[in-house]
Structure formats: C-alpha cells, structure tokens
Amino acid sequence: MISVQNVHKSFGDLEVLKGVSLDVEKGEVVSIIGGSGSGKSTLLYCINAIEPINSGKILVDGVDVHAKETNKDKLRQKLGMVFQQWNSFPHMTVLENAALAPRIVKKMSKEEAMEIAKKELEHVGLGDKLDVYPTKMSGGQQQRLAIARALAMKPDYMLLDEVTSALDPELVGEVLDTLRLLAEEGMTMICVTHEMGFARDVSDRVAYFHQGVIAEIGEARQVITDPQNPLTQKFLSKVR
C-alpha cells in the first residue's frame, strides 16, 4: 500500500503540494487529473523519492520513503515509473534497454535478465523489436518499451506520469491498451493523465488536483461523469 500523508513540497518559494493525503491499496488503479502546475506529476516524483519533500510522510508498504535510513535505490525497485518523455536509452537495443536494470540492479545472470526482458517486451507487443534501437521506433513503441523496462524489474506499483501526453494522437491508443491490460492483470497503478476516458474506464478512483491539493476524490465514474466540487466541474467542462 502507498500512503501519502499530508505532504508539502516547495520548489523555492513556490509551494506545489499543499498538504496532500492519498492512500492507494494493492491492486487499485488511481488516476490523477488536473490542470498543469497543479502538482500532480510532482506527487509521483515524491513517491519514488526523485524529489525530496518538505513535510509530511510517504509510506510504501510501511517504509518511510523519505527517511534518511531508507535505501532509496532499493525502494525504487518496487516502484516502476514511466515518464511523459519515454526516456529510452538510445545507445542500447530494445532488449538491452529492458534487460539492463534486472542485470545490474538485481544482479541476475545475463540469460535470466534477457529472458525476463523478452517476456515483458512480448507482453507490451514489442516481441518483434528486440534488436532494434529505440530511436528507430515511434513514440508509442518507445513508450511501451518504457513500460516493459519498468515491468522487467517486477515492481509492485507503477507510477505513470502523463505517459500519453507527448504522443501523436494516433499513437495514444496502443499505449492506453497496454495500460488497460496491466490494470486487468491487477497491477497497482497511479496514473497522472489527461485522458478522461481512460481515467473513467480503467481506474477505480479518480483524484482531481487543484493548486496543490486534492479538490475531489472518489469512484472513477462518479468523479468524471458527476463531479461534486464546482472546481472539478469547471475543469472537466474545459477539457471535454
């Protein structure tokens, strides 16, 4: 379980998270929606300790993420993350991209790492691209590679930061389908997204972020189709 407790986070004078609390149970899919600058991506960065927090607490399976004594590199193995810009490693083949972390972080043998990587690449539909370099692939394919690369570490949670925002419209579908598949398989996910249809259909709950706080959170279909907070109503009327 991921438990975010009253987290505050500032960049200099700018406070981007103003007391955010959110519990995500194992197996749950939670989508975070909201305008740009509302702090939704920052929350993901704080959950996997890429960004430090100013106050509050984030627990992942009971471990305090930001405590000094926490081994953050070890903790991140549990938290797969996929970014808006897919960040494939351009100097490695698709297979090497996915096999690197299992090999050097989990110290698997080369064969074992390759085996797992191959399985995950087939999982996201890139089984025929193993020896291709990522720069030769479309954004959608690279984003699926990023998902497979994260999955190869066998994470317990996936953090997805606007993974379709930088894609050409016709490529969005294939990535969302991959995420849908993961959701069906019971992967716990926190998705920051602008895809309202995806948030409504795939997630269990939706949280609406407004100026650093969660303005509304509830059952996915209810928040998207029948928002209670006027701020959520206003936001949704604009993005539709």
Question: Binding residues for another protein, per CB under 8 A?
Answer: 48, 50, 73-74, 76-77, 79-81, 83, 85, 87, 89-93, 100-101, 104-106, 133, 135-136, 146, 149-150, 153
Nearest-approach distance from CB 146 to another protein, in angstroms: 8
Nearest-approach distance from CB 40 to another protein, in angstroms: 17
Query: Quick one: 135 or 237, whose CB is closer to another protein?
Result: 135
Query: Quick one: 146 or 175, whose CB is closer to another protein?
Result: 146
Nearest-approach distance from CB 45 to another protein, in angstroms: 8
Nearest-approach distance from CB 226 to another protein, in angstroms: 35
Query: Quick one: 59 or 105, whose CB is closer to another protein?
Result: 105
Cα 76 to Cα 82: distance, rounded to the nearest angstrom: 12
Query: Quick one: 21 or 133, whose CB is closer to another protein?
Result: 133
Query: Quick one: 45 or 231, whose CB is closer to another protein?
Result: 45
DSSP assignment of the chain equals -EEEEEEEEEETTEEEEEEEEEEE-TT-EEEEEE-TTSSHHHHHHHHTTSS--SEEEEEETTEETT-TTS-HHHHHTTEEEE-SS----TTS-HHHHHHHHHHHTS---HHHHHHHHHHHHHHTT-TT-TTS-GGGS-HHHHHHHHHHHHHTT--SEEEEESTTTTS-HHHHHHHHHHHHHHHHTT-EEEEE-S-HHHHHHH-SEEEEEETTEEEEEEEHHHHHHS--SHHHHHHHHHH-
Residues in the chain: 240
| Amino acid code (one letter) for 84 | Q
Cα 101 to Cα 92: distance, rounded to the nearest angstrom: 12
Nearest-approach distance from CB 78 to another protein, in angstroms: 9
Query: Quick one: 79 or 215, whose CB is closer to another protein?
Result: 79
Nearest-approach distance from CB 127 to another protein, in angstroms: 20
